[in-house]
Amino acid sequence: MIQFDGEVVLVTGGSRGIGRAISRLFTENGARVAIDYRSRTEDAEETLEMITSAGGEAALFQADITSHAAVTDMINQVVEHFGQLNIVVNNAGIWAEGDIKSMSPEHWQETIDVNLTGTFNVCRAAVNHLDGSRGDNIINISSTAGQRGEAAYTHYGASKGGIISFTKGLSTELAEDDIRVNCVAPGWVDTEMAEPAYKDGGLEKIGRNIPLKRVGQPEEIAAAVVFLASSRASYITGEILNVNGGNVLCG
């Protein structure tokens, strides 16, 4: 049994897609969830309603993770609201096409700012609230692109590769405080983020090239996150858990 019994989990980008599935699964396992989102309040409220109507506990916190000040303020609000913070899931991210021949420096920077610097901002603001003796830990979300790169998304691949080395360095650094730091690296997942690639038969075509013959569902990523955050993973730190239908090397 995986149980969190009142532990408080912050999920960035917890309002829709993979983050929504992560937020819901944590609450189904007894955690209280702080759902961070950037701007789409309706989606966040819908997620909150799904959780509370199922008997779970959650609260919404709006903060753009690219702002260190906003993130620090948001995490202080989370701790004030729930009284503690135990698990941080750095899930928020963006994926916007840009080939190297036309990509503007601003476009490059935005992806790095959200995906990589956002992850740093949240870890930096959260770390002093975490207590390894309670089993508190951090999960970062990378991608297959962070390991093999992605044509026309070099900025995305670089940001996600950065998350992997950030995870490894931080896991070693925080091991002395017994705070585990792990990473989940999804492959193709059926969310709005990847919709541009799925239209016009793209979903089926991509699926055919994955060893398990389909893209993943958000709940399948959430299951890996919840496992790594649980006491069942108490001796796992600095690990990159691929959840991709076998797609890292041959997609």
Active site residues: 156
User: Tell me, what DSSP letter sits at residue 175?
Assistant: G
CB closer to ligand NAP out of 27 and 66: 66
**CA–CA distance, 194 with 192 (Å, rounded to integer):** 6
- Matching residue, tokens 């490894």: 168
Size, binding site for ligand NAP by CB under 6 A: 32
Provide the pairing of β-strand 137-141 with 87-90: parallel
Residue 194 interacting with ligand NAP (CB under 6 A): yes
Residue ranges in 28-57 that form contacts with ligand NAP under rule CB under 6 A: 36-40, 43
207 to 226: interface string for ligand NAP, x by CB under 6 A: --------------------
CB closer to ligand NAP out of 202 and 238: 202
Residue 57 contacts residue 81 (beta carbons within 8 Å): no
Provide, rounded to whole angstroms, the least separation between the CB of residue 88 and ligand NAP: 13
Residue 114 contacts residue 65 (beta carbons within 8 Å): yes
CB closer to ligand NAP out of 29 and 91: 91
Residue 205 interacting with ligand NAP (CB under 6 A): no
Rounded to 10 degrees, the C-alpha dihedral 85/34/168/116 comes to -130
Provide, rounded to whole angstroms, the least separation between the CB of residue 244 and ligand NAP: 8
**CA–CA distance, 163 with 18 (Å, rounded to integer):** 17
Residue 119 interacting with ligand NAP (CB under 6 A): no
CB closer to ligand NAP out of 58 and 92: 92
Residue 62 contacts residue 37 (beta carbons within 8 Å): yes
Provide, rounded to whole angstroms, the least separation between the CB of residue 85 and ligand NAP: 17
Provide the 3-class DSSP secondary structure of residue 185.
Answer: strand
Provide, rounded to whole angstroms, the least separation between the CB of residue 121 and ligand NAP: 9
Can you read off the two tokens belonging to residue 35? 């759902």
**Contacting ligand NAP (CB under 6 A), which of 19, 56, 135, 162?**
19
Residue 211: phi and psi, rounded to 5, are -50, -40
CB closer to ligand NAP out of 26 and 37: 37
**CA–CA distance, 116 with 130 (Å, rounded to integer):** 21
Provide, rounded to whole angstroms, the least separation between the CB of residue 241 and ligand NAP: 12
**Contacting ligand NAP (CB under 6 A), which of 7, 8, 9, 13?**
13
Q: How far is CA 102 from CA 112, 117, 145, 158, 219, in A?
A: 17, 23, 20, 17, 36
Binding site for ligand NAP (CB under 6 A): 12-13, 15-19, 36-40, 43, 64-66, 91-95, 114, 118, 141, 143, 186, 188-189, 191-194
